[in-house]
Amino acid sequence: MKKNIVSILIILSILALTVVSCKSTAPAAPAPEPVKAAVAALVSNAGKAEADQARQKAMDFESNKYFPSEWLVSEAKYNAGEYDASAAEYDALMKKSIPLYAQAREDEIMAAREQLIATGFTEYFPQYLENADNMALAAHDQYQAGDYYNARETAASALNEYETLHGGAKVYLTRQEVIDRGFTQYDADNFLKADDVAQGAIEAFDANDREKALASMEEAQLRYNLVLSNGWTAYAADRKAAAAEERELAIAERASIASRDTFRGGDALYYEAEELLAAEKYPNAALKYIDSEAVFAISRKETEEKRLRAEEAIRIAEEKIEESSGSATEAERIIEGGSK
């Protein structure tokens, strides 16, 4: 600001010399009031501009967040027109905020990096993690060199890179879930379209077209989600059919009587599944149908085991009866032979 004042004074001196040279015989006169007002306005505007610049820098590094009380004091001075004082205080606040701001950005970056690694995505695509890591390291180097604004921008880019990759990881994991559950058979067309879109996202990302990559990732995610949803719907219907068949077999084998408690347990699960299916909660319904199918199968097994035990008991009883009959016949023969 002092340089601006000096420049203004030099200009005014030149103007004064010009006036004297033109009217050398006239006595020196004080500067008119409009000139004084203009000078004061220029000085004030220069001071405000400097204060505005310092204020913006402090806000860029969130000084108002880290030091709210001191910020309010500086704001009061700024609003009162004490531009020199407020500019100095804004500058001091910015310097105090930079380490805190840098640490907060580092924490965000490390959290995003850990979330990305936890998906397992980087095991298959390590080059993407390496690129993001290089950006984060560049931001650290810029900070150490005192290049705070560039460090700020590079750190933001690194964080965005990790978050973008995390979005890609979600797409990848959804695709794997579809495959692992065998759901591709239920909606093969959408699955193939999702694969094409996902491949386009990878190509756009590799070409540094982040906007196109993000749009393609979102579309691929929607398509894989649709395949997964359709898969659960069809899978729940399949599991219902299997559970209903097992239930009918259990009834036919009289498991509802011979293994009543177990059968009733299967029935309870089956009707819970029916309610979930009616509510369109297909994953939960499918799992309940699976459980009910298993319990109906157990009731059949228990009934079969009871039947076998009963048959064995009957066989043993019949053998004993035959033995008793044989013993009685022998006794009669001995008695009859003795009487002769």
Structure tokens at 313: 């008991």
Which of 198, 194, 133 has the alpha carbon at shortest distance from 161? Answer: 133
**Residues ≥6 apart with Cβ < 8 Å to 61:** 94, 97, 98, 101, 148, 152
Q: What is the predicted pLDDT for the residue at 174? A: 96
Q: What is the predicted pLDDT for the residue at 9? A: 42
Spell out a b/e string for 25-40, using b for 16 or more CB atoms within 10 Å of the CB, else e. eeeeeeeeeeeeeebe
Measured CA distances, 101 to 71, 94, 113, 115, 251 (Å): 16, 10, 18, 21, 70
**Residues ≥6 apart with Cβ < 8 Å to 43:** 1, 4, 5, 8
Q: What are the two backbone dihedrals, phi and then psi, of residue 27, each rounded to the nearest 5 degrees? A: -75, 150
Alpha-carbon gap, residue 155 to 140, rounded angstroms: 8
DSSP 26: S
Q: What is the predicted pLDDT for the residue at 22? A: 43
Alpha-carbon gap, residue 304 to 299, rounded angstroms: 9
Q: What is the pTM of this model?
A: 0.70
Phi-psi region of 187 (alpha: psi -120 to 50; beta: other; left: phi over 0): beta
Alpha-carbon gap, residue 282 to 285, rounded angstroms: 5
**Residues ≥6 apart with Cβ < 8 Å to 269:** 288, 289, 291, 292, 295
Q: What is the predicted pLDDT for the residue at 291? A: 96
Task: Return the SS3 of 147.
Answer: coil
pLDDT beneath 70: ranges in the chain: 1-45, 325-340
Q: What is the predicted pLDDT for the residue at 64? A: 95
Q: What is the predicted pLDDT for the residue at 10? A: 46
Helix locations, 145-280, DSSP H? 148-180, 188-206, 210-252, 255-258, 260-278
